[in-house]
Structure 1
Amino acid sequence: MGITERKEREKAEMRRRIVDAAIDMFVAEGYEKVSIRNIADKIEYSPATIYLYYKDKDELLYDVQAEAFQRLADHFRTHVVSEDPLERLHQLVMSYLDFAREYEELYDLMFIIKAPMNTVENEDKWDNGEDAFGQLRDTVGACVEKGLIRFTDHMIATLSVWAFAHGFISLNLRCRINIAELNEENIPIIMRQSVQHYLDTIKV
């Protein structure tokens, strides 16, 4: 291995250490409470070392977000296995709910707080969610192509399904479904039943 290749590998390994430490700390303590110095202390380097890789905490969070979205995409690949488009759509949406419930703090970093999006304000598009979103888009598109759901536009259908599921998840994450009429333990069941009802409604 040449000097250039070794340096590139060392850079990749250091970036990996920084991102892994940041994920652990953001999830455990919350994004706002964690500083670059805190992360540097965890990996036993100076803050100046981290600034060689990231100009600020928002840029670091963008890479953390990318890692989280890769986990979501891999989660889909594991749990969304049916060849039938409608059943595949059902599996994907339910696995989305399950992911959000199991990884609430990660979901918050991915979808709720604005900080990582500050990094892409001047870019043409946001790439982090492309893999996971592409799986949803392709699945919904197959349903539209086969006339299985009540949509004719692929993107409108995709955004509609995503928004419905994400809306429930966001309300729950921010404790907006904790109302007197509902038992907290029943909320995940009600969410799944509501999403299932939505999916049944859009079927032809």
Structure 2
Amino acid sequence: MAIKDRKERDKLDRRKLIIESATRLFLEQGYEKTSIRNIADDIEYSPATIYLYFKEKDEIFFIIHEQGFALLNQEFANIGDIKDPFERLQELGKTYLNFGLRNPDYYDLMFIMRAPLSEIACHDKWEAGDAALNHLYNTVDECLSQKVIHIGDKLMISMAIWSFVHGLVSLYVRERFKAVANSADDATKKMVFESLQYFLNSLRA
């Protein structure tokens, strides 16, 4: 391997290590209590080394968001060919639920943890986040055009759906359903998916 190639690989490995450490510390300590020095100490680097790769911790947090949304968009892409828009809407909801239930740590960082996202303002477009929302917007728009759901504002309907599904995932990953559902985990998951179906059916025209 050429020296240049080895240096590039080492650089990518360090960057990956920093992101992995930051992800773990954000989850364990919270965003506000995690500093660049904490991350540096965790992986036995100097803070100056971290700053060679990232200008601030918000940039690291943004990249973690990007990775999470990239995973979510990959799963959404698998259902893009469903012709019936209401069926696609149902699958979008189920896919979102499955993503949150399978990736609770990523979901916490993406949608629950309180942290500034000033890094987003540095970009003309937040492509990963916009792409995820557009799957929902476009599907709701088709449902409205074909009159398979009640007529209303596309944005408001989309936000209502997202808020409902987000609420289900958040309550599940933070184990709040245990307070009202004294049942095995599989039964609780079944209840979560049935709640989604009940809500979506209420939108049908």
When normalised by structure 2's length, the TM-score is 0.79
Structure 2 unmatched runs, 5+: none
Structure 1 position 157, deviation (Å):
1.3
Aligned equivalents of 2:175 and 2:194: distance in 1?
18
Which stretch of the first structure deviates more once superposed, 30-39 or 143-152? 30-39
- In structure 2, the residue matched to 1:188 is 189
Question: Tell me, what secondary structure is at the counterpart of 1:177?
Answer: helix
Instruction: Report Cα offsets for 1:118-171 as digits up to 9, x if no partner.
Output: 544788876551111111111111111111111321111111111111111112
Identity of aligned residues (%): 35
Q: Is the 8 A contact 1:100 1:107 kept in 2?
A: yes
Structure number with higher relative contact order (C-alpha < 8 Å, ≥ 6 residues apart): 2
How many matched pairs? 197
Q: Is the 8 A contact 2:65 2:110 kept in 1?
A: yes
Q: Is the 8 A contact 1:17 1:43 kept in 2?
A: no
Change (3 A) 1:19 1:95: farther
Aligned equivalents of 1:158 and 1:16: distance in 2?
36
Change (3 A) 1:76 1:27: farther
Structure 1 unmatched runs, 5+: 1-5
When normalised by structure 1's length, the TM-score is 0.79
Change (3 A) 1:27 1:58: closer
Question: Tell me, what secondary structure is at the counterpart of 1:203?
Answer: coil
Change (3 A) 1:178 1:145: same
* CA RMSD, Structure 1 to Structure 2 (Å): 3.1
Question: Tell me, what secondary structure is at the counterpart of 1:151?
Answer: coil
